[in-house]
């Protein structure tokens, strides 16, 4: 059974879903007792390791970003940039989807990389935290990883990043 809470029309709702060959959700009740329909679309995104979604943006389609472990599935034709050679680490992932996946790509270096925020500006802009080896483009303001003087335990040194994808 999958349980989750969501905010709909300014009210916090709880949903209960049964996991089997398909996901079946019952109607939810909000705090004031009104009945609301279950989500129109639920989908898993990920591979065999720990994968997390951190932010979503929408313009009729949904764009999602997060962190991905090794083996995160991508779509054919997308550029996958990852410096991982195994071990406990993560990369940034970005996915464009309507009710089906349009494209999903992975971007990362040798450290722990996470897409934490996503916005649309005619393209797809992702911001987050990245470790050493994160790829940059020619002519960028800071092309070299600077690290930090107080790295987070278990994460290592991090810099912020911003990436823009043409959609």
C-alpha–C-alpha distance, residues 40 and 32, integer Å:
22
C-alpha–C-alpha distance, residues 55 and 126, integer Å:
9
Average pLDDT, the chain: 75
Instruction: Count Cα neighbours of 71 within 13 Å in the Cβ-side half-sphere.
Output: 7
DSSP-derived secondary structure letter, 31: T
| Res. 138: pLDDT tops 60 | yes
Q: What is the mean pLDDT of residues 113-142?
A: 90
Q: What are the DSSP E strand ranges found in the chain?
A: 2-8, 11-19, 23-25, 28-30, 35-36, 52-58, 62-68, 91-97, 101-107, 114-120, 124-130, 159-165
Residue given tokens 């989807």 in the structure block: 97
Which pLDDT tens digit goes with each residue over 1-44?
A: 445 555 544 555 555 554 444 444 444 444 545 555 666 666 77
- Torsion sign across C-alpha atoms 39, 43, 45, 46: positive
Which pLDDT tens digit goes with each residue over 61-110?
A: 888 998 888 778 888 877 666 655 544 467 888 888 776 778 888 888 88
Would you call 28 helix, strand, or coil by DSSP?
strand
C-alpha–C-alpha distance, residues 159 and 128, integer Å:
8
- Dihedral of the alpha carbons of 97, 101, 103, 106, in degrees to the nearest 10: 100
What pLDDT sits at residue 153? 81
Q: Contact 109/134 with Cβ under 8 angstroms?
A: yes
Q: How confident is the model at residue 154 (pLDDT cuts 50, 70, 90)?
A: confident
pTM check: above 0.85: no
What pLDDT sits at residue 161? 92
What pLDDT sits at residue 34? 53
Q: What is the mean pLDDT of residues 117-122?
A: 92
């Amino acid at each position: 059974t999958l349980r989750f809470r969501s905010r709909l029309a300014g009210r916090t709702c709880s949903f209960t879903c049964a996991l089997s060959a398909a996901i079946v959700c019952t109607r939810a009740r909000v705090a004031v007792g009104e009945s609301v329909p279950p989500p129109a679309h639920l989908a898993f995104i990920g591979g065999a390791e720990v994968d997390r979604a951190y932010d979503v943006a929408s313009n009729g389609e949904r764009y999602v970003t997060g962190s991905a472990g090794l083996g995160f599935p991508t779509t054919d034709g997308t550029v996958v940039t990852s410096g991982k050679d195994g071990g406990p680490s993560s990369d940034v992932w970005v996915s464009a989807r309507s009710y089906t996946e349009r494209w999903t790509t992975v971007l990362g270096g040798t450290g722990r990389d996470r897409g934490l925020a996503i916005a649309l500006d005619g393209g797809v802009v992702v911001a987050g935290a990245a470790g050493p080896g994160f790829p940059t483009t020619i002519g960028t303001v800071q092309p070299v990883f600077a690290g930090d003087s107080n790295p987070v335990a278990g994460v290592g040194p991090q810099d912020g990043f911003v990436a823009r994808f043409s959609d």
